[in-house]
Structure 1
Amino acid sequence: MSTSASETRVADAPAQNWVDRWAPAPLRPYARLARLDRPIGTWLLLLPCWWSIALAADGLPDFRLLILFVIGAVVMRGAGCTFNDIVDRDFDGRVERTRSRPIPSGAVSVKQAWAFLVLQCLVGLAVLLALSPLAILLGVSSLAIVAAYPFMKRITYWPQFVLGLAFNWGALMGYAAATDRLALAPVLLYLGSIAWTIGYDTIYAHQDKDDDALIGVKSTALRFGAATHRWMWMFYGVMAITLVAVGISARLGPIYYVGIALAVAHLIWQIRSLDIDDSGRCLKLFRSNRDFGFIVFAAIALARLFT
């Protein structure tokens, strides 16, 4: 790889992120390929795992599981992004926001990306084998959805739905890892989180809608268009209703509902603040879903601790 390519900062990475500032130069392209310079995706993958671990707790959530899922989320989000970039390398080179990614920019070759993908998957496997038998089974069963996702934007305007299926699998796995069983509450959490993902990733997809339309890539942003706000009320509304149902099913106390009221207020703020033609605003609102996730986690954890 050329020195200039290896030093290229990805367009939508935060300015002065830790990869650009501190990572050794030879490792920067791989860190960018794994999206370590843009941790929001890792948070959005991790938080449903933490929700269900807290939901399964009798008091404080299992700290060992919280840490294992941090490691798993980092490497598996990185592996998913690496695979996605291998598959989408031709599309990415034709989109303004993504042409600076490591593969289309030439910082990482396709062969190097495959080797890096294998390494990340091996670390993820080590984490998976430290979990309960049911969690291992669930983890293996998610691979088909993860592998299918990068191809969905070619055939359907609903790739965000498939992303929701994959990205929120941790809502099932975290509970299974803690209890080696499933219950209605984590299943409800999983289903509601799919609607949440469709919502926040639609916001994200509005950044690329013009380029996507030109090159033939499909998304809910293109499907909803000017009606996006109405769809957002529906999907975020489903998430809000589901969170209430989770509290009822798991018999969580009043503290939980106070937290969920704050979380729902955050979702309402996102919808009311959304300007689908302002890419900077879309990115800011998309990233704010980490805050929503922390509010939900705090609501569940505090309810379990004090109920």
Structure 2
Amino acid sequence: MTSPTRLQLYLQLIRWDRPAGWLLLLWPTLSALWIAADGWPGWHLLVVFTLGTVLMRSAGCCVNDVADRDFDKHVKRTANRPVTSGAVSVKEALLLGAALALLAFGLVLTTNAPTILMSFAALAVALIYPYAKRMVSMPQAVLGVAFSFGIPMAFSAALGGNEWSWAGVYNAAPWTAWALLASNLFWVLAYDTEYAMVDRDDDIRIGIKTSALTLGRFDVIGVMAFYAIHLGSWAALGLRFGLGRIFLLGIAAAAAQAVWHWTLIRGRGREGCFKAFRLNHWVGFSVFAGTVLDLTLR
């Protein structure tokens, strides 16, 4: 068996073969972009936020694998990751992550001042998350903020403004954009708790903090409550933005999937929990499709 090339190792490091990861970030960001633009946002912003999402998720994988390399070796699912196995050095992973983040920042530079300023806050949260597992009982909440920052950035880029101040950031993204961020955080809590349920036994053994361990025997109830809070609040905010029946059909399709996920995770089996996590991007796509169709056909 031939050894993988450097390119193959780098693609493995950034999870290129697992697009579900960046789709989880992409759909709520694009939903927010369509809402902010009140319809088609234009090719420029679509390319910026699509490519930027893929690049930043890939950069985040590099940082996460460096931070977790000593933990990952004790978990069967992650023991063969390039950094953990030693196939890619820590320096290589960090350099690759930095390069990808710089490419994403280059895209942000084509937007406006408030969005550029906001990108620094988004980067800071993304860098904090890998270390939150050591200190925070529910680090998935930190991940939720990191995975949702594209929402206010989409509003800022679509609504304009060129004030180089944090007051300009506040003016560029209305409170409803931040409310969408908070709503999306609960979706991240739902699917990443499902993900944490897969590694529950390993996480107990190595001392990692996760929402699955914090919730204990209430983990399944917690996941379903997170889904309900997310979809209920996102629906209410969508109606406030003037979205209508087609949008609500998208919410209903997402809710039906959440119920199906309950059937997958209620037994707490590894395969069922991982399947529920892996297919969560369809929940986000349903909301996105309902949003786009509603704005296009009204």
TM-score, with structure 2 as normaliser: 0.91
Which amino acid in structure 2 is aligned with residue 166 of structure 1?
Answer: A
> In the alignment, is the contact (CA less than 8 A) between 1:59 and 1:306 conserved in 2?
no
2:155 corresponding residue in structure 1: 175
Distance in 2, Cα, partners of 1:62 & 1:283: 36
Distance 1:259-1:277 versus aligned 2 partners, 3 A rule? closer
Answering whether residue 36 of structure 2 is matched by residue 56 of structure 1, we say yes
Distance in 2, Cα, partners of 1:74 & 1:288: 18
Secondary structure of 1:244's aligned partner: helix
Distance in 1, Cα, partners of 2:218 & 2:59: 34
The superposition leaves residues 252-306 of structure 1 with CA deviations (integer Å, 9 ceiling, x where unpaired) of 1221112211111211221233145321211111121111111111111111112
> In the alignment, is the contact (CA less than 8 A) between 1:72 and 1:127 conserved in 2?
yes
1:81 corresponding residue in structure 2: 61
Answering whether residue 210 of structure 2 is matched by residue 219 of structure 1, we say yes
Residue of structure 2 aligned with 1:122, choices 80, 102, 110: 102
1:234 corresponding residue in structure 2: 225
Answering whether residue 137 of structure 2 is matched by residue 157 of structure 1, we say yes
The superposition leaves residues 175-221 of structure 1 with CA deviations (integer Å, 9 ceiling, x where unpaired) of 21111322343222211110110010000011111111001011011
Residue of structure 2 aligned with 1:278, choices 269, 279, 293: 269
1:191 corresponding residue in structure 2: 182
> In the alignment, is the contact (CA less than 8 A) between 2:220 and 2:266 conserved in 1?
no
Answering whether residue 34 of structure 2 is matched by residue 43 of structure 1, we say no
> In the alignment, is the contact (CA less than 8 A) between 2:139 and 2:210 conserved in 1?
yes
Aligned length: 287
Distance in 2, Cα, partners of 1:163 & 1:69: 19
Shift of 1:134: 1.7
Residue of structure 2 aligned with 1:298, choices 266, 289, 293: 289
Distance in 2, Cα, partners of 1:139 & 1:35: 23
Distance 1:57-1:218 versus aligned 2 partners, 3 A rule? same
Secondary structure of 1:150's aligned partner: helix
Distance in 2, Cα, partners of 1:94 & 1:229: 25
Which amino acid in structure 2 is aligned with residue 288 of structure 1?
Answer: L
Distance in 2, Cα, partners of 1:27 & 1:285: 30
> In the alignment, is the contact (CA less than 8 A) between 1:88 and 1:150 conserved in 2?
yes
2:242 corresponding residue in structure 1: 251
Which amino acid in structure 2 is aligned with residue 79 of structure 1?
Answer: A
The superposition leaves residues 145-166 of structure 1 with CA deviations (integer Å, 9 ceiling, x where unpaired) of 1111111111122000000011
The superposition leaves residues 46-77 of structure 1 with CA deviations (integer Å, 9 ceiling, x where unpaired) of 12210111112333232322222121111111
Distance 1:178-1:106 versus aligned 2 partners, 3 A rule? same
Shift of 1:97: 0.8
TM-score, with structure 1 as normaliser: 0.89
User: Percent identical across equivalent pairs?
Assistant: 38
Which amino acid in structure 1 is aligned with residue 291 of structure 2?
Answer: I
Distance in 1, Cα, partners of 2:50 & 2:141: 24
CA RMSD of aligned residues (A): 1.6
1:135 corresponding residue in structure 2: 115
Distance in 2, Cα, partners of 1:300 & 1:63: 18
Q: Extract structure 1 runs of 4+ deviating beyond 6 A.
A: none
Distance in 1, Cα, partners of 2:267 & 2:151: 29
1:98 corresponding residue in structure 2: 78
Distance in 1, Cα, partners of 2:150 & 2:220: 28
Distance in 2, Cα, partners of 1:27 & 1:276: 39
